[in-house]
Amino acid sequence: MVAEFAQLMAIHDGLLDAVPEDRIAAFRDGLDAAMRAEQPRAVGQLERDGTIAEDARDALSAWLGQRIAPLVPAPAETADNGTAATD
C-alpha cells in the first residue's frame, strides 16, 4: 500500500508528467524499500492511519521529486516538438 500511495501522490501532484513512459518502471522499481528506508515517518503514518500529516506529505512529495528528477529528460534529449530526440 505504501508504494501505491506514493505512485498515486506523484501522479496527482504532476511529478510524473515530464517522465517518459519507458522510464516509469525505473520510478516504481524499489520504491517501497526506498520509502521504508528514507521516509519512515510517512510509512508509519500510512500503515497505522491510512493517511499522513501535511508536513509528512510535504516531505514525501519533495523526496518523490528528488527521486523522479533524474528520470526527466534533459532539454537536449527532447526535440522541438516535445518528443524524445533520436540520433
Is 85 a member of any domain? no
Q: Nearest to residue 27, comparing CAs of 81, 57, 69, 73?
A: 69
pLDDT of residue 83: 57
| Residue 47 resides in a domain | yes
The answer to whether position 28 is within a domain reads yes
How many domains does the chain divide into? Answer: 1
Domain span holding position 50 = 2-77
pLDDT digits (tens, 9 = 90+) for 7-24: 999 999 999 999 999 999
Residue 23 lies in a domain: yes
Q: Which class for 40: exposed (0-12), middle (13-18), buried (19 or more C-beta within 10 A)? A: exposed
43-80 pLDDT tens trace: 999 999 999 999 999 999 999 999 999 999 988 765 55
Let me know if residue 86 belongs to a domain.
no
Structure confidence at residue 76 (pLDDT): 77
Instruction: Give the pLDDT confidence score for residue 77 in this predicted structure.
Output: 63
Q: What was the pLDDT predicted at 75?
A: 84
Q: Is residue 82 part of a domain?
A: no
**Is the pLDDT assigned to residue 84 strictly greater than 70?**
no
pTM of the model: 0.81
61: in domain = yes
Picking from 11, 73, 9, 15, the residue whose alpha carbon sits closest to that of residue 39 is 9
Cell representation of residue 69: 528528477
In a domain, 22, yes or no: yes
What average pLDDT score do residues 19-41 get? 95
